[in-house]
Amino acid sequence: MKTRVCCQCHTEKSLSAFHKRPDRPGGRHYACRRCISDGMKVERPQPPQVSDLERGYFAALIDGEGSICIAKTKDRKRKTAYWTLQLRIYNTYLTVLEWLIPRFGGRIFRGVTPKSSKHKQGYVWIATTRPALVLLEFIRPILIIKPRHADIAIELFAKMWAIKDEARDNGLPVGHVDNPILLRLFEELRMLNRRGPPPASSAPPGKNKAP
């Protein structure tokens, strides 16, 4: 089993007992969860320092051209699974996405190459998990189309981290991926992101017809 030494209590522990924390420029020290729970804080990404106009434009891009997605990913080596949050913005104008990087972070990826010369090349901007959550909390009050999407993502990850920390504190297996509360939130967000018309009602034919 791989281990490392905590930079606070100087105790050797397994890798699963640690949070990654930058302690100084050019390097990283590692603090165990026990020391963190005793009062030491892990550095959290800070909200972007932008104008209200830039904040509103970013929220509009998420509302109109973006998506808020949660994926359940399997770790084959550890034989476990975990949740991943992604904020995405799709656009054919690369300059729009390049404008986001110095203000909101993230990364840009090239989309699928168009099959026809009539279509433009697409690109996607992506931010993941902790930085994505900070951005969601930052723009949540001004979202118009996707406020419920943001609420689900924020609630799911808050509950997930609480479940993981409680399990580790009690020496129990971290089975958060199969937690029914998290699965319900995951399924609700999946349905909100579903393309096309909403699923047909299960009511018998003729019951919901207008008079």
What single-letter amino acid sits at 56?
G
Q: Is the pLDDT of residue 181 over 70?
A: yes
47 or 18: whose pLDDT is higher? 47
pLDDT at 210 over 50: no
- Find, among 136, 139, 154, 151, the residue nearest to 56 by Cα: 139
Cβ–Cβ under 8 Å, residues 109 and 94: no
Residues 187-199 pLDDT 10s: 999 999 887 665 5
Residue 89's contacts (CB-CB under 8 Å, 6 or more residues apart) are: 61, 62, 65, 66, 97, 100, 124, 125
Residue 205 in this model has a pLDDT that exceeds 70 = no
For the stretch 58-77, pLDDT in tens is 999 999 999 999 987 776 66
Model confidence pLDDT, tens digit, residues 110-157: 888 888 888 888 999 999 888 899 999 999 999 999 999 999 999 988
